[in-house]
Homo-oligomer: A and B are copies of this chain.
């Protein structure tokens, strides 16, 4: 399933239920924020190492999978409503990040990450 197909599928889903009236960009941004909060809750008391080992906890993984799916769904819906080409947006962002953090400077230095504690 590519992003374009997913967009159309979610559009039909909302139209069939007459939910478009609720799906203003403002509301979709809020819904996405709500799901991002739920995702945080799964990780808030875990150490980083525990978060890496979450893969062994099937119950928790099932829930985390649902949260990430919800977030992905709202992102695609929001892009549909705002006529954003998500694929292009992602490609542009990766290109911008590559320019901002060139390998030779970012590697073993990574100022983005080491601002703290210098």
Copies of chain A in the complex: 4
Could you list which residues of chain A lie within 8 angstroms of chain B, going by C-beta atoms? Answer: 1-2, 6, 9-10, 13, 16-19, 22, 24-27, 29-55, 57, 60-61, 64-66, 68-73, 75, 78-79, 81-84, 86-87, 89-94, 96-98, 101, 103, 106-108, 110, 112-113, 116-117
Given the complex of chains A and B, what is the CA–CA distance between A39 and B94 in angstroms? 18
| Cβ-defined partner of A33 (8 Å) among B18, B33, B45, B48 | B33
| Cβ-defined partner of A37 (8 Å) among B34, B54, B55, B60 | B34
Q: Is the pair B53, A27 in contact by a Cβ cutoff of 8 Å?
A: no
Which of A68, A70, A81, A97 lies at the interface centre, i.e. has the most chain B CB atoms within 10 A of its CB? A68
